[in-house]
Amino acid sequence: MGKITIDPITRIEGHLKVEVVVDDGEVKDARSSGTLFRGFELVLRGRDPRDAQRITQRICGVCPTTHATAAALNLDSAFGVDEQIPDNGRIVRNLILGSNFIQSHVLHFYHLAALDYVDVTAVADYEGDDPALNSVKAFISRGELGPFAPRYEGDYRLSPEANRAATANYLKALDARRKAHEMLAVFGGKMPHNVAVVPGGVTQPVTVDKITSFLWRLNDLRDFIDHVYIPTVLAVAEAYTDYFEVGAGCGNLLSYGAFELDGQEPDLLKRERFIRGGRISRDNLVLQEVDPTQITEQVRHSWYDDAITDRSPAEGDTVPRLDKDGAYSWLKAPRYDGQVYEVGPLARMVVAYARGDEPAKALVDSVLGQFNAPVEALFSVLGRHAARALECKLVADAMADWVLQLKPDEPVCADYELPEEAQGVGLVGAPRGALGHWIRIEGGVIANYQCVVPSTWNLSPRDDRDQPGPVEQSLIGTQIKDEANPFEVVRIVRAFDPCLACAVHVLDARGQERARFRVL
């Protein structure tokens, strides 16, 4: 029996360590450890409530837009303007959020996950006039594989032609992400950390020039999604069909939904949203609603004081305790009614499928039909990649309609007054999953602020009942062919799109280090 420790495990953002105990080639146990204390909740105490949508964006440089959205929804409810957002303000928020969805999904597949399946060294034999591939070829000839290396070796299954096409698409995806950032900045002012989303709506007035500028970039991105992104995902799936049976996880999915279509309902989860919320289990695929009062955070195995365990985030606290016995992560363990839930594009697409949403159902059925796979196959590594790509298309296509619903020169923001005492909640779907912000205002300033982010759900440690988190459960039972090249582990974890980062060393059962790797 030996242990594989991968630290860090992602190619960007944050600090995540994953440890798996392997016996006779099978993962018997797994631990997901967040190795960095966040502390933004402490920074916010005593500040003007309007600072929240500025400061919380700094939690993440990849998806700050969703923190701006959750913070604004949170403050809308606390300030009592949640039913007064002008249509222009609601739509512009959707367009800003959707732009971030597109860039984040493209980033994840091409630049954070695809290199686990694509062998860029196939470009060494390329004979053609594509300048991008010739540039990569020149790097390879000089022994310079960055940013494609260091990497694990072996188990690359795509044909040389498919590998070259995927490498070229890696470079095209960089340009697509740039366009998505530019598109967001049309209404958001800048990316990262947009300055347009505020309580009551947005600050950016709508003009015909802005609509035109946004739309032409969006149409280019829709073409990329349809003709590059989705085909690349399907090509990988065809070569790695066994990954429809790997990484099933906890089997419970939860979504808050996203993109407001009607701002007149104060209960966020009862609003009409383009992507609707819900809960569903792989065991029976029966759709259920989400009750935010059933959400708690548990800390038995987290570096926080036990006195704050199993509390609603509205009553939560952030009390670090690094010397705590049995703890192994800075992440708390979010639970719904005491149960483990996965969040993310997979959750949103399966919930949409169960609700009978026609565009989502048609896309999912098309992919499942191509592989003669049942709906249950979505609970897998490839299911997560497919769900993310299909959601990207759904959102991009919807945005083409939303931008044309804008009305130049009409209001974009509602007036409000700062309350002396108030509470609020903001729940929204982020690219990586369900994101929640909770605030309590006392004396006109923030008395408490709590964020429960998607990667906290998915990468959580064991909870008060010793239930492993979603990623931990997805790893247990996995077969590892080569402990020196644990492809299976990184493919499973990266399919969740963790917004944390990690490096790799391998130990034997006696704790002796055998080798050390760094995976970028």
Catalytic residue list: 13, 60, 63, 67, 432, 455, 499, 502
Is cis: bond before 454, omega within 30 of 0? no
Among 458, 318, 512, 466, smallest CA distance to 10 is for: 458
The b-or-e profile of 129-141 (16+ CB within 10 A means b, else e) is ebebbeebbebbe
C-beta separation of 217 from 434 below 8 A:
no
Both tokens of 173, joined, read: 């995806």
C-beta separation of 168 from 120 below 8 A:
no
C-beta separation of 103 from 180 below 8 A:
yes
Q: Facing residues of 304 across strands?
A: 320
Q: What angle do CA 48, 451, 283 make, to 5 degrees?
A: 155
Residue type, 427: L
DSSP 123-187: GGG--S--HHHHHHHHHHHTT--TTS-S---S---S-HHHHHHHHHHHHHHHHHHHHHHHHHHHH
- Helix or strand (DSSP H, E) at 513: strand 513-517
- Separation of alpha carbons 318 and 40, rounded Å: 9
C-beta separation of 426 from 437 below 8 A:
yes
C-beta separation of 185 from 212 below 8 A:
no
Q: Give all strands of the β-sheet with 433-442 in edge-to-edge order.
A: 422-430, 433-442, 445-452
